[in-house]
């Protein structure tokens, strides 16, 4: 790929997205008026999906541990200190409250690759997203380690827990959002305040066309659906089991959409005996109906479950543009 001076052409602040996935964060930045200079992602299905939806954005398809800062800047057409925002959501399964939360889980070390590139690129602002499990119990030490390392890169950094359901996303999804501002700019990092009331799932799914992957329920999931009331999960059938299979309550936002849709049913419709379709969970994550996904049901569900809701990132990006970059 040829070097291009992308930072000096076009309008709007610039962003590079690492751990880009299928483009949830990228769409949020785009809706906020940013220009994405480069996306970094290694998963084949995620890259294929990203390219379908962002054909204009260059993609580094490979292992981030092998991407040098100089190569990253060459691909983006920028020099040190020229980038506005450096974004990333390092894989967070090792911190997730849904897992065993092992401090030494190798997946937890990928934030150091993010920090390595941050130190080399020296953007004006960085945004890092992760699960709330990293600030709970004994895992809080991991959070303090991350904050200290990010600050050591030359930034004032601050983390807050934001729930996507207050940012025009019909899904209750809490995430730690760490925002940093380069020390020489003299600006304290800040986060957007809640902007909307929670959107009920029933409202969000109005008019959706269930075109594909209308997956029927397995035997156990059928039993859960028959017994569960809207809002209840599978523990109503067998206490301590089937917690990840639930009947969505149409009067409330969807619960957090996980990476894996379990065979026990996952997010089930409240009035139809079935798992929600891909089109429906796209609505729950604030992706537009036109957003293209590829692969089988499990792969498409994984892309949505792993992504940052676009409307949440749009709110964050807009806040950064209006309250930080305008003063930098």
Point out the residues that are catalytic. 92
Round to whole Å and give the CA distance between 46 and 293.
Answer: 9
CB 268 within 8 A of CB 247: yes
Return the biggest CA–CA distance within the chain: 60
From the list 310, 308, 304, 293, the residue with the least C-alpha distance to 48 is: 293
Instruction: Tell me 138's DSSP state.
Output: G
Helix (H) or strand (E) holding 148: helix 140-152
From the list 128, 73, 138, the residue with the least C-alpha distance to 105 is: 138
Instruction: Tell me 107's DSSP state.
Output: G
CB 283 within 8 A of CB 250: no
User: What is the total residue count of the chain?
Assistant: 328
- E-strand ranges in the chain read 14-18, 35-41, 59-61, 85-88, 125-131, 155-163, 174-182, 246-247, 267-268
| Phi/psi of residue 33, nearest 5 degrees | 95, 15
One-character DSSP codes across 254-274:
BPPPPSS--TT-SEE-SSSSS
Give me 138's structure tokens: 């004994």
Give me 233's structure tokens: 């999960």
| Phi/psi of residue 36, nearest 5 degrees | -90, 125
CB 181 within 8 A of CB 84: no
């Amino acid at each position: 790929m040829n070097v291009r001076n992308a930072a000096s052409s076009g309008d709007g602040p610039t962003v590079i997205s690492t751990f880009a996935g299928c483009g949830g964060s990228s769409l949020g930045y785009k809706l906020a008026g940013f220009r994405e200079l480069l996306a970094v992602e290694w998963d084949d299905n995620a890259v294929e999906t990203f390219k379908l939806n962002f054909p204009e954005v260059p993609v580094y398809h490979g292992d981030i541990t092998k991407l040098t800062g100089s190569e990253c800047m060459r691909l983006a057409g920028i020099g040190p200190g020229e980038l506005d925002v450096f974004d990333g959501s390092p894989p967070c399964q090792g911190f997730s409250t849904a897992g065993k939360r092992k401090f030494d889980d190798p997946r937890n070390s990928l934030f150091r690759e993010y920090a390595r590139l941050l130190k080399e690129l020296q953007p004006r602002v960085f945004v890092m997203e992760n699960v709330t499990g990293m600030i709970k119990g004994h895992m809080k030490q991991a959070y303090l380690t991350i904050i200290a390392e990010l600050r050591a890169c030359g930034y004032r950094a601050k983390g807050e827990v934001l729930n996507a359901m207050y940012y025009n996303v019909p899904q209750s999804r809490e995430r730690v959002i760490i925002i940093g501002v380069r020390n020489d700019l003299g600006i304290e990092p800040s986060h957007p305040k809640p902007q909307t009331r929670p959107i009920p799932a029933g409202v969000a799914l109005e008019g959706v066309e269930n075109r594909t992957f209308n997956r029927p329920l397995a035997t156990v999931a059928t039993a859960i659906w028959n017994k569960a009331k809207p809002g209840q999960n599978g523990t109503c059938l067998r206490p301590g089991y089937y917690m990840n299979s639930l009947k969505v309550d149409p009067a409330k936002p969807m619960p957090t959409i996980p990476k894996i849709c379990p065979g026990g049913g996952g997010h089930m419709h409240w009035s139809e005996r079935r798992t929600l379709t891909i089109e429906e969970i796209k609505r729950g994550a604030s992706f537009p109906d036109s957003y293209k996904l590829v692969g089988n049901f499990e792969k498409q569900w994984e892309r949505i479950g792993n992504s940052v809701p676009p409307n949440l990132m749009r709110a964050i990006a807009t806040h950064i543009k209006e309250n930080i970059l305008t003063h930098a």
